[in-house]
């Protein structure tokens, strides 16, 4: 009886012997891809995109069924930097005629990762296009960059006291 | 209609087979029990036997509908033929008329809720994910197979064996109805116990206290196991009380079976074994009667039901009580950090203080997954039952089985204690029938779904509505289930993912509705590695941004080690890459090298694979003496070592050691120079490639999962494609 029990225990122990080893040879070596080029549009946030909310950090109003959105004072977005070489900050926006009558000329300060890139004073209303090269060392490959601008004067709606900056169509980095 | 018949057939076959098995055993033992006790206890004991039979069928991998049918019909046929199903004992005295009506009205009302909810298509979180997810896997594979990437498959699955039996005929709802059957049996057992101790009103009240408790009837109407466990524990207690009365040694057999089966149902019920043994030993010792033999009989029978689960785990994952005790039974399948974090979470959920528990588990129910009802705020009153012998026995059992509760403070984990507390509470006020009746009425009213919503916290987990049309399949099952995104994603996976491919997801989903293998991030060590790979591109602290360079005089050594010297209880230590230099040249990684590490030797290759998204980790707090080692298999000259690591291990400190020609470990350098390790590769592409190399072609992301936004926004940068979308859940394909 004792022998049978002992044999059963040994059998049981052996059945659990398929333990993985604790010493290993070096594995197959990986060769990660050096760069990726998914297209310049990946670094641009279009205000009519259903995914735009994922990139918006603050101060951009929800869409109103248009291809543009109103901003507040410090509209901010995040984009993934897919390359750092010869990139430009590009923003398409408009200054509202009626608002301009109240605010007068407005000054916009443009930031990349909270570093001041540029300041521009706009003395007329209407559609604007802004583009300026970004120093390569301000960006890191495969990391998100924060793009923002500051509107110095806001139009305040007399009806509901809502504050409006500019009408934003797109903002992002382009090669 | 056919669907309903299949559900009822699966349930009835399982219940009748279990009952018949128990009845045959009870008839062989010729136990002297009351008629009702005999029927109820034989079902519970028979469930243990049927569970063991299904375990054996799974072990030899002959799970087939025909096998189950033949076995079931043979057992039922023999029970009928032998007359075992005809209970032979005396009946209890009739219930007082008032209490009979109270019992019938309350039971009917709450049975309506629980039965029809159980009949509805199963969509409970754990039920559709793993309780029945694993059942489906066993059914598909015709039995057990080695599962090393799902810790839920390592838990004891005694009730899931019964689910499998029913599932093979009636799918999900048949399994759920088997669980519901345990609720009915439990309530009737409580009633019987009250009648046995000469307190029928106590039995009625306690049965309703238990039956109507919101978490109890809700749990019983899903493919969970807690109510079944409560029935098993209470039946074991009941048999011990009978033995205490009549000293019939034949009772040791069902007592031993149920003590072992309690463990087989749920690890937390392991205390049933020492309770049964201790009870018997104590009583016999006090009577100056032999202790050893009865205790040995109970222990051996319990072992028959406990050991198969331990042996299964020992063979499959090298740990008999996996996923627990991984520090003792070290293994590559469950990380110690997972166990630590899991325990930590389950012991507090997201409560800020344990003083919140009483109100949470009775009234609020939003942070602890359910509520028992405000009546149970009176639980301290149950101490008044200490004046009765039965009260002392009930409270002792309640205290013992509640002692594991703080390991998981979910309200469900109190269910096994509820019958004991209910009886003790009813007993405490038994001398005031009007008060007892008022308590029953108060409990029944406050536990009705439309009343609960008046006082529970918003989001409390509870049964909110029952649809008889859906339960009877007058409304298509698919229509109801399609409201659940996890179900729709499961169906999408079945439609899109080839049969041999695996899906990796961060959180669990409707696994019991897909035949594809889904790996869930936290459910095993290998899955956690996949998750680490997936998260490295999006969590900066995981990335190999730190370079620790050791420079030292040229040495000829046979082995090289990087050793941890700091005690950093809040940090894990990790190495993304370990590079060895001789002069300016990095030594190519020779196939003759032998790599190891302590702890976690099984993942050491991750520090030598040249991938920026994989890393060897301790998966436990960093401590002195931990190391990663290279055996060059010959004497090798070296003068530098570079360790690429992440910033989430900032409090760790390392030194480099070498094994010289004399077999002595010498310190090569204890002052690494730290610098930034620039990353020039696309981590997203690297992660996708690594997942693919590990056999993962599909990634499922729910919106709340870390990294979900990143994958959605930069799908192309990951090199993935969207394979399907269900609400905000996305299934990605790695081409």
Q: Where are the domains of chain B?
A: 2-455, 486-536+686-733, 549-676
Chain B hits for A16, Cβ within 8 Å:
314-315, 318
Give the whole-number percent of chain B exceeding pLDDT 70. Answer: 100
State whether residue B467 is helix, strand or coil.
coil
Give the tokens for residue B97: 């008329």
C-alpha span between B651 and B569 (Å, rounded): 9
Length of chain B measured in residues: 735
Cβ within 8 Å of residue B535, ≥6 positions away: B542, B706, B707
Judged against a pLDDT cut of 60, whether residue A10 lies above it is answered with no
Determine if the pTM surpasses 0.90. no
Q: Where are the domains of chain A?
A: 40-174
Question: Per the CB < 8 Å rule, is A82 touching B717?
Answer: yes
Residues of A in contact with B537 (CB under 8 A): 142
Residue B538 confidence class, pLDDT cut points 50, 70, 90: confident
Cβ separation of A33 and B315 shorter than 8 Å? Answer: no
CB nearest to A142's CB, from B593, B611, B683: B683
Mean pLDDT of B345-373: 97
pLDDT of residue B335: 98
For residues A81-96, give the mean pLDDT.
89
Which residue from B614, B713, B717 is facing A51, i.e. has the nearest CB?
B713
Mean pLDDT of chain B: 96
pLDDT at B428: 98
Q: What is the mean pLDDT of residues B222-235?
A: 98
Residue B332 CA: distances (Å) to CA of B327, B329, B491, B528, B735: 11, 10, 32, 11, 29
Q: Which residue has the higher pLDDT, A19 or B174?
A: B174
Per-residue confidence (pLDDT) for residue A37, from 0 to 100:
42
Count of C-beta atoms within a 10 Å radius of residue B49: 22
Peptide bond connecting B599 to the previous residue in cis, omega within 30 degrees of 0: yes
**pLDDT higher than 80, residue B301:** yes
Does the beta-carbon distance from B315 to A16 stay under 8 Å? yes
Q: List Cα–Cα distances, A158 to A155, A162, B65, in angstroms.
A: 9, 8, 75
The residue in chain A having the minimum alpha-carbon distance to the alpha carbon of residue B593 is A25
pLDDT mean over A3-18? 54
Contact A25 B683 (CB under 8 A): no
Question: Hey, is the C-beta of B551 within 8 angstroms of any chain A C-beta?
Answer: no
Contact B466, B112 (CB under 8 A): yes
Domain A40-174 has CATH 2.60.120.260: yes
Q: Are B256 and B301 in contact (CB under 8 A)?
A: yes
The complex's ipTM works out to 0.83
Which position has the higher pLDDT, A81 or B328?
B328
- Give the pLDDT mean for A119-131: 95
Does A175 reach chain B within 8 Å, measured CB to CB?
Answer: no
Residue B641, SS3 per DSSP:
strand
* Confidence bin at A17 (pLDDT 50/70/90): very low
* Number of CB pairs, chain A paired with chain B, less than 8 A apart: 107
Rounded (10°) angle between helices B35-59 and B252-265 = 50
Give the residue-averaged pLDDT of B304-330: 97
Q: Is A110 strand, coil or helix?
A: strand
Instruction: Name residue A24's beta-bridge partners.
Output: B595
Residue A74 or A22, more confident:
A74
Average pLDDT over residues B160-183: 98
3-class SS of residue B710:
helix
Q: Give residue A65's pLDDT.
A: 81
Task: Select the residue of B314, B609, B686 nearest A27 (Cβ to Cβ).
Answer: B609
Q: Could you report the per-residue pLDDT of B240-296, keeping only the tens digit for each? A: 999 999 999 999 999 999 999 999 999 999 999 999 999 999 999 999 999 999 999
pLDDT tens sequence across B456-484: 999 999 999 999 999 999 999 999 999 99
Print burial letters for B465-479: b (CB count within 10 Å at least 16), e (below 16): ebeeebbebeeebee
Chain B stretch 88-117, residues whose beta carbon is closer than 8 A to a beta carbon of chain A: none
Question: Among B331, B540, B713, whose Cβ lies nearest the Cβ of A54?
Answer: B713
Instruction: Give the C-alpha separation, B303 to B712, whole Å.
Output: 51
Q: How far is A31 from chain B (nearest CA, A)?
A: 7
Burial classification of residue B223, based on how many CB atoms lie within 10 Å of its CB (0-12 exposed, 13-18 middle, 19 or more buried)? buried
Answer yes or no: are the C-beta atoms of A173 and A134 closer than 8 Å. Answer: yes
Q: Which of A146, B11, B444, B248 is nearest to B452 (CA)?
A: B444
Do A147 and A52 contact (CB within 8 A), yes or no? Answer: no
Segment among A39-48, B65-74, B664-673 with least mean pLDDT: A39-48
Residues of B in contact with A42 (CB under 8 A): 714, 716-717
């Amino acid at each position: 009886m004792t022998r049978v029990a002992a044999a059963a225990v040994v059998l049981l122990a052996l059945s659990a012997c398929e333990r993985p080893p604790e010493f290993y040879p070096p594995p197959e070596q990986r060769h990660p891809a050096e760069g990726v080029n998914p297209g310049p549009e990946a670094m641009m946030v279009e205000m009519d995109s259903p995914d735009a909310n994922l990139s918006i950090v603050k101060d951009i109003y929800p869409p109103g069924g248009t291809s543009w959105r109103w901003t507040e004072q410090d509209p901010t977005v995040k984009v993934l930097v897919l390359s750092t070489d010869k990139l430009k900050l590009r923003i398409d926006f408009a200054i509202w005629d009626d608002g301009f009558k109240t605010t007068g000329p407005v000054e916009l300060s443009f930031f990349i990762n909270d570093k001041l890139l540029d300041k521009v004073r706009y003395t007329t209303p209407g559609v604007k296009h802004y583009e300026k090269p970004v120093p390569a060392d301000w960006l890191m490959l495969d990391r998100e960059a924060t793009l923002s601008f500051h509107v110095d004067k806001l139009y305040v709606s007399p009806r509901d006291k809502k504050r409006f900056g500019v009408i934003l169509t797109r903002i992002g980095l382009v090669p | 209609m056919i669907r309903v018949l299949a559900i009822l057939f699966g349930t009835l076959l399982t219940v009748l087979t279990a009952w018949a098995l128990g009845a045959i055993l009870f008839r062989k033992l010729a136990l002297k029990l009351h008629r009702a006790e005999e029927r109820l206890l034989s079902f519970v004991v028979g469930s243990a036997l049927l569970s063991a039979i299904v375990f054996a069928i799974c072990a030899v991998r002959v799970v087939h509908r025909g096998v189950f049918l033949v076995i079931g019909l043979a057992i039922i046929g023999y029970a009928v033929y032998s007359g075992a199903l005809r209970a032979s004992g005396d009946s209890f005295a009739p219930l007082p008329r008032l209490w009979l009506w109270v019992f019938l009205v309350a039971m009917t009302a709450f049975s309506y809720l629980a039965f029809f909810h159980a009949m509805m298509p199963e969509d409970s979180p754990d039920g559709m994910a793993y309780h029945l997810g694993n059942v489906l896997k066993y059914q598909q594979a015709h039995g057990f197979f080695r599962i090393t990437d799902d810790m839920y498959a390592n838990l004891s699955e005694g009730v899931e064996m019964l689910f499998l039996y029913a599932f093979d005929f009636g799918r999900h709802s048949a399994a759920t109805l088997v669980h519901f059957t345990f609720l009915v049996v439990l309530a009737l057992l409580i009633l019987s116990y009250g009648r046995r101790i000469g307190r029928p009103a106590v039995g009625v009240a306690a049965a309703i206290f238990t039956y109507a408790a919101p978490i109890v009837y809700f749990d019983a109407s899903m493919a969970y196991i807690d109510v079944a466990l409560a029935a098993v524990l209470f039946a074991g207690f009941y048999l011990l009380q009978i033995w205490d009365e009549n000293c019939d040694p034949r009772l040791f057999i069902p007592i031993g079976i149920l003590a072992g089966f309690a463990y087989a149902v749920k690890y937390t019920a392991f205390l049933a074994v020492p309770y049964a043994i201790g009870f018997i030993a104590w009583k016999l010792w006090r009577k100056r009667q032999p202790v050893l033999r009865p205790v040995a009989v109970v222990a051996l029978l319990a072992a028959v039901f406990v050991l198969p689960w331990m042996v299964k785990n020992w063979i499959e994952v090298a740990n008999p009580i996996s996923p627990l005790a991984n520090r003792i039974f070290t293994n590559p399948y469950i990380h110690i950090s997972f166990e630590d974090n899991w325990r930590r979470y389950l012991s507090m959920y997201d409560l800020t203080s344990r003083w919140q528990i009483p109100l949470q588990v009775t009234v609020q129910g939003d942070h602890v997954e359910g509520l028992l009802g405000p009546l149970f705020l009176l639980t301290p009153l149950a101490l008044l039952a200490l004046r009765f012998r039965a009260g002392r026995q009930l409270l002792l059992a309640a205290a013992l089985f509640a002692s594991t509760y703080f390991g998981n403070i979910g309200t469900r984990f109190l269910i096994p204690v509820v019958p004991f507390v209910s009886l003790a509470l009813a007993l405490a006020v038994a001398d005031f029938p009007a008060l007892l009746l008022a308590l029953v009425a108060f409990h029944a009213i406050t536990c009705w779904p439309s009343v609960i919503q008046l006082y529970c916290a918003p989001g409390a987990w509870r049964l909110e509505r029952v649809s008889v049309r859906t339960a009877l399949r007058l409304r298509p099952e698919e229509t109801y289930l399609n409201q659940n995104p996890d179900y729709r994603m499961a169906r999408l996976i079945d439609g899109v993912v080839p049969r041999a491919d695996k899906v990796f997801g961060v959180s669990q989903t409707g696994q019991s509705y897909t035949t594809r293998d889904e790996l869930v991030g936290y459910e095993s060590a290998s899955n956690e590695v996949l998750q680490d790979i997936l998260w490295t591109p999006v969590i900066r602290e995981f990335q190999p941004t730190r370079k620790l360079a050791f420079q030292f005089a040229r040495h000829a050594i046979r082995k090289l080690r990087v050793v941890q010297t700091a005690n950093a209880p809040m940090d894990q230590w990790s190495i993304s890459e370990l590079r060895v230099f001789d002069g300016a040249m990095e030594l190519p990684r020779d196939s003759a090298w032998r790599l190891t590490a302590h702890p976690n030797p099984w993942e050491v290759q991750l520090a030598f694979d040249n991938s920026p998204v994989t890393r060897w980790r301790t998966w436990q707090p960093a401590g002195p003496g931990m190391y990663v080692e290279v055996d060059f298999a010959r004497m090798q000259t070296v003068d530098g070592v570079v360790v690429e690591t992440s910033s989430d291990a900032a409090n760790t400190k390392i030194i480099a050691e070498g094994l010289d020609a004399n077999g002595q470990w010498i310190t090569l350098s204890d002052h690494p120079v730290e610098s930034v390790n620039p990353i020039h590769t696309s981590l997203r592409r690297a992660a996708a490639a690594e997942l693919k190399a590990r056999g993962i072609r599909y990634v499922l992301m729910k919106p709340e999962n870390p990294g979900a936004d990143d994958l959605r926004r930069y799908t192309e940068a990951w090199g993935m494609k969207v394979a399907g979308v269900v609400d905000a859940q996305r299934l990605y394909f790695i081409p």
